[in-house]
Chain A
Amino acid sequence: MQLFPRALNKLGLAVAVGSNAALVVVVCLFWYYGSPKNLQVGYAPLQPVPYSHRLHAGDLGIDCRYCHANIERSAHAMIPATQTCMGCHSIVKTDSAKLEPVRDSWKTGAPIEWTKVHKLPEHAYFNHSAHLAAGVGCVTCHGRIDKMEVVRLDKPISMGWCLECHRDPSPNLRPKDQITNMNWTPDMAPAGWQPPKVNPPTNCSGCHR
């Protein structure tokens, strides 16, 4: 007696092909949707103070280094101290409700706890000063901060993305006086300017220690 119909003979093949195809689809989905490019970019957490880079850096045109003062010397860009905010806001907008946490911090001495947006793994040692010294502009990694009301992650900052530039840095280099210029494009370079010959590391210990 035939328990199973003849058509079932093809089932094995169908399962084999189908499961492989499903596997490929799943891998591809993870490959794309699971990558930092998809998962991380666009991360824009609310901050304790509704600080607007669009207003300060964009409309008012304050240079990045006014607040991120030691960026040319240190590895860290540094969130400015409450002191820096109060430098202006003890005179400007002294009664704004949005600035309440800043004034509180100044009064009590308790620091403002900002939420980290650009997060590198702890075994990656990124150095801001090295990149600035080489002539990489702020906008290259952080995007148009001057147009952001709330800071959002603009680039995937994954290792593959870092290496793209480390392997061929010259398209991302600019004259050193244009580092903080958000609007700079290569055609604005002075005549005869050539990107400096930098030799960024592509070996492990360049970033991992």
Chain B
Amino acid sequence: MSKREPFQFEEPKASGAQVFWKSLEEKNAVDAELTSRNKAKEAEFPLGVAKIDEGAVFAPSAPAAKKAMPGEMSDKISRRGFVKFGTAVTALFGLEACARRPLEKLVPYTRSPEYVIPGISNHYASVTNRGGEAVGLLIETHEGRPTKIEGNPEHPASRGGTDGVVQATIFDVYDPDRSTGPRKNNNDAKADQLYAEFGALLAASDKDGGATLRFLAPRSNSPSFVRLRKNVTDRFPNTRFHVYDATSNDNAIEGARIALGQPMHALVDYARARTIIALDSDFLQTEPGMIRASRSFADGRRLRAPTDTMSRLYVVEPSYTTTGANADHRLRLPARDVERYVRLLAKEVAALGIDLGPIAASLGNLPADGIPENWLKSVAKELVDNRGRAVVVAGRRQPARVHALAHALNAALGAVGQIVSYGSVVDPVGYTNNNGAFEVDAAASLSALVADMDGTKVQTLVILGGNPVYDAPADLKFADKLAKVKTTLHLSEHIDETSSVTSWHLNRTHELEAWGDQRSMDGTWAIQQPTIAPLYDGVSDIELLAFIASKAADGKAPRPKGIDIVKETLFELSSPQTATTWNQFAGQIDGDHAFSKQWRAALQRGLVVGSAPFSFTPGEARGKEIADALSKGAPAGKALGADNVEVTFAACPKMVDGREGNNPWLLELPDPMTKIVWDNAALVSPKTAGDLGLVAGDMIELSKNGAAIQVAVWVQPGQADNSVAVTLGWGRKKAGRYGNEKGFDVYPLRTSDSSGFADGVALRKTGASYTFAQTQEHQSMEGRPIAIDATLEEYRKTPEFAQFRTPRPKTLPLWNRQNYSTGHQWAMTIDLATCTGCNTCVIACQSENNTPSVGKEQVAKGREMLWMRIDRYFVGTDEADPKVAVQPVTCQQCEEAPCENVCPVNATAHSPEGLNDMAYNRCIGTRYCANNCPYKVRRFNYLEFQGGPVGSSVDTMYGDLPETTKMVFNPNVTVRMRGVMEKCTYCVQRIEEAKIGSLRSGKPLKDGAVVTACQQACPAGAIVFGDLNEPGSRVAEHKRRDRGYDLLADLGTHPRTTYLGKVRNPNKEMG
């Protein structure tokens, strides 16, 4: 027997190559002599898979024992119990063999609805509000049930892309814990009765013009909302609307008002920018307009050839965000010091001869502690050199004056009009307009409302959406004050923290159930179409406002309908001059009328043609006002240290402000940077952790002015020292079965004057510890060259840098390779230069492919089911301040698939089109394939995660799958059962649908006819899919690009999914 030498791996750390690591544990392990990683390799579970003790703490409120989710499978099955179950199951199998197959019913329609053909999906154009930006959507429905959300390619704020939260909101429609009806004093109430009582109350308020009636609502994008609010204030001249949104954009809007005289949104064309300075701005993830920004940022960095140019991104931020991960240079700085940085930078810019007018004198004399000199000198030089193509973007938690200064810099650098444009704020509530000059209307704020909630001034409070009892600033003591108001009404989708203490609750329709309208930041007007009849009846915010505005609101008259409201608003827009009112007009029009045509076109395209952009040009930046604002608020405060830390509050990329609190898809989505699931954490830098003696999992208490929160610590590389980052939206008490008591509520520490960040916070270790579940080290690739990056300079010198690091094998393949030269040959490329790691594709895949969420405990055991994962690597040797590389990994569809050879039952086999097929019913669950997969992309159903077969009552993680939750499933994808292996299929259901469509029509498939779910959702357009054999297909062109490489090419698996190497664009002068 001849002895064959084992294949020699190329040493990955060749010249110039970077060190990649996934967690501090791994890095330390690599550094150590006898590495614990080697130990971990020998151990059954990889690093990061928590060792779960019997007493591990999983819920913050249950210190002693882990708190199982309802119906969660317990590991503690006794031997006796096992035998009992085993016997029962065997007996049942025996009995079942005697039975005839189950009788199944076919239930056709009685009257066929128009346009519904069973088996063919319909798409409806709609729109959603994402943190102030309206995003156009296409909703896929199957037999009248929405199952998937896509972006509307015609809508400028989407261009076909979405974000992860939008993808996941489809689950919210079917959330089993949604409120199912109106309530009065926490008892179920009849809607008619409640409306009658409310109508009578409103009628009584007519006498004093609504002096004791108040409204509280988040800032709206809806023109109908704005119009109806006017109608309400016409009826009640003495009432007042207050505005509150926990993660509002108000600082940015106010900054624009200071600088330009009008509340406005800035829109940046990142595609044409050459230099971008992001000041604590996560514009690629949590800031509004993330989808538009991701696409345009990616457009500025798409490299086709070494001669192409790309933009350069500088990020100054306290904690790693998706934007920071994409930075070419990143400065970690406490959020408090970001203002100091931009003031110093402005000075440098002024010193280079840029005229800042009166602003220059108001910048103050601040020390440059902690800010390297080149971050001022070199950055300022680059800004000035790239005049007109350089832009400064401020984040929404920075004070308004920072935004104003950013506007001033953009104006002085000539970016305004070139790459920065402005859009109106649809709803400038909180501002009064005196002859064109907008003034802040402090009386419209939440604090003004709370001040009046003393028992007399406010008798009736109508809360239209939001959840202020949970998320209002702690110093306002909103819940206590709310108890003093006689009648309170809350409109919401859940019986949440607010609804359970208000006297009345009205259940709100979901966005996919109701008519509405939204305007984007650029003015694009889109109609929100319902795609399903309201599951629990319910009312939308505009319907309730219309009810309040109508004098006949006595509960007997028919309540206003959303569609009429939206039509009337559009009618007013399209013919503002006519004397006819909508009511007179509506009776006269027929289908051929110009308005009817406009309406139908708006529904069909998903936007009102000609509604964008808002037509106005901003004037000069108002130097004096900006200078005033800057000299009034100078950054100050004691130096940060171990006894005086800063806490930064960020909108959670998953929970937002808590509104997605009961969405198990988002709860289980790994955080883009920490990879923690089902929890938030207090992020501290390695140095701070060392100073304070903290390790990951330690519980700490953060306190300031008597308010305190307890959070568990996570040590995060790249975190600013002495700054603790927490995300909002966790620790809900009344979210529902999935979200209750998950993570830590940080709102008690957040006050009106520290909504973005608070300094002077005391940090104390409590001594308790906490177990996180996170996916950081799962499916680890043992330090081999996976994510490959180079600088632009290196790329120009060696365009094939990626292939050099992953050479093809030197040995011959074991058998003759299949011929793939004919027919469709599906393939995918993922461009790491444009992928931002935002997680959208992960949720899109989950939604398309019926992938379950499994719960924290199962994830901790490494049993997560998501078909896609985004690997996040830290790069470099500095563990305090590393760079980041992200890489989406899913089944690589190897042509020489190692999984196929080891399957004993041929459940996974190759298709002639190059797909690695998976036949679920053949799978017997040996898991050999997953063991043999070098990419670790196969997922095994350890438990019945999706409920049992129809009609059975097998325990799932959440107990029986509720009937409504089953409605979210894609009918074209099998719902997998326990004991079955699964993985990415390249969305084979979409491929087959397109192929059958081409068979029916007789026309060949065109490039782009098959779009995978991840590709469709990707806001950056980083994923390309198609047929390799089709000449001129996009995927074939991408495959030929010089940056292309196979993942672990040395294994000879010949993957169909390939990557384009990441390219960074560092500035040489930054060193």
Contact = CB atoms under 8 A, between A and B. Distances in A.
Contacts of A201: 911
Given A78-B118, A109-B110, A125-B972, A119 B104 contact: yes
B907 to A, nearest CB: 8
Contact of B108 (A80, A125, A198): A80
B999 interface: yes
B105 interface: yes
Nearest to A209: B989
A125 B109 CA distance: 22
Interface string A117-155: 001011101010110011000000000000000000000
Given A83-B110, A83-B112, A204-B919, A209 B120 contact: no
Contact of A134 (B106, B988, B999): B999
Interface in B101-118: 101, 103-112, 117-118
Which of A82, A119, A209 has the largest count of B CB atoms less than 10 A from its CB? A209
B438 interface: no
B909 A74 contact: no
Nearest to A203: B911
A208 interface: yes
Interface residues of A, number: 43
Nearest to A109: B110
Nearest to B991: A205
B106 A115 contact: yes
B106 A82 contact: no
Contacts of B921: 121, 123, 208
B117 to A, nearest CB: 5
Contact of A70 (B110, B117, B922, B991): B117
B292 to A, nearest CB: 33
B918 A204 contact: yes
B97 to A, nearest CB: 10
A206 B823 CA distance: 14
Interface string A167-209: 0000000000000000000000000000000110101111011
Given A122-B974, A133-B999, A205 B992 contact: yes
A79 B919 contact: no
Contact of A115 (B104, B108, B109): B104
Interface string A62-103: 000000001011111011111110000000000000000000
B985 interface: yes
A73 B117 contact: yes
Contacts of B120: 70, 73-75
A110 B999 CA distance: 37
Interface residues of B, number: 39
Given A75-B119, A125-B992, A83 B999 contact: no
A116 interface: yes
A79 B111 CA distance: 12
Given A121-B921, A129-B996, A203-B909, A116 B108 contact: no
B111 A83 contact: yes
Contacts of B974: 122-123, 208-209
B731 to A, nearest CB: 39
Contacts of A106: 110
A37 to B, nearest CB: 15
B108 A76 contact: no
Interface in B906-950: 909-913, 915, 917-922
A39 to B, nearest CB: 8
Contacts of A51: none
B76 interface: no
A110 B909 contact: no
A209 B985 contact: yes
Contacts of A125: 972, 989, 992
B1000 A130 contact: yes
B916 to A, nearest CB: 9
A73 B823 CA distance: 24
B973 interface: yes
A204 B911 contact: yes
B119 A76 contact: yes
Interface string B72-113: 000000000000000000000000000001011111111110
A113 interface: yes
A19 to B, nearest CB: 22
Contacts of A72: 1000
Nearest to B104: A116
Contact of B105 (A116, A198, A203): A116
A157 interface: no
Contact of A74 (B111, B119, B920, B989): B119
A198 B998 CA distance: 12
B105 A115 contact: yes
A114 B111 contact: no
Nearest to B918: A204
A203 B912 contact: yes
A112 interface: yes
Contacts of B996: 127, 129-130, 133
A42 interface: no
Which of A109, A130, A199 has the largest count of B CB atoms less than 10 A from its CB? A130
B919 A208 contact: yes
Contact of B103 (A45, A122, A198): A45
Nearest to B1002: A133
Contacts of A61: none
A109 to B, nearest CB: 5
Which of B106, B823, B911, B989 has the largest count of A CB atoms less than 10 A from its CB? B106
B920 A123 contact: yes
Contacts of A113: 105-107
Contacts of B911: 201, 203-206
B1000 A129 contact: yes
Interface string B108-143: 111110000111100000000000000000000000
A30 B86 CA distance: 25
B323 to A, nearest CB: 37
Nearest to B143: A76
A114 B911 CA distance: 37
Given A73-B117, A129-B1000, A81 B915 contact: no
Given A112-B108, A203-B911, A208-B974, A130 B999 contact: yes
Nearest to B921: A123
B110 A114 contact: no
Given A79-B108, A116-B104, A129-B1000, A203 B917 contact: yes
A134 B917 CA distance: 24
Contacts of A111: 107-110
Contacts of A76: 118-119
A63 to B, nearest CB: 18
A87 B917 CA distance: 45
Nearest to B922: A204
Contacts of A127: 992, 996
Contacts of A198: 999
B893 to A, nearest CB: 11
Contacts of B118: 70, 74, 76, 78
A105 interface: yes
Contact of A81 (B109, B972, B999): B109
A207 B972 CA distance: 11
A199 B823 CA distance: 10
Given A123-B920, A125-B989, A130-B999, A79 B106 contact: yes
B899 to A, nearest CB: 13
Contacts of B910: 203
Interface in B984-1041: 985, 988-989, 991-992, 996, 999-1000
A127 B971 CA distance: 13
Contacts of B999: 130, 133-134, 198
6 smallest CB-CB distances across A and B, nearest first, come from: A74-B119, A204-B917, A203-B911, A75-B119, A76-B119, A79-B108
14 contacts: A70-B117, A72-B1000, A75-B119, A79-B106, A116-B104, A127-B992, A130-B999, A130-B1000, A133-B1000, A199-B823, A205-B917, A205-B988, A205-B992, A209-B972
Given A203-B912, A204-B909, A209-B985, 7 more contacts: A76-B118, A82-B109, A111-B107, A116-B104, A119-B101, A130-B999, A204-B918
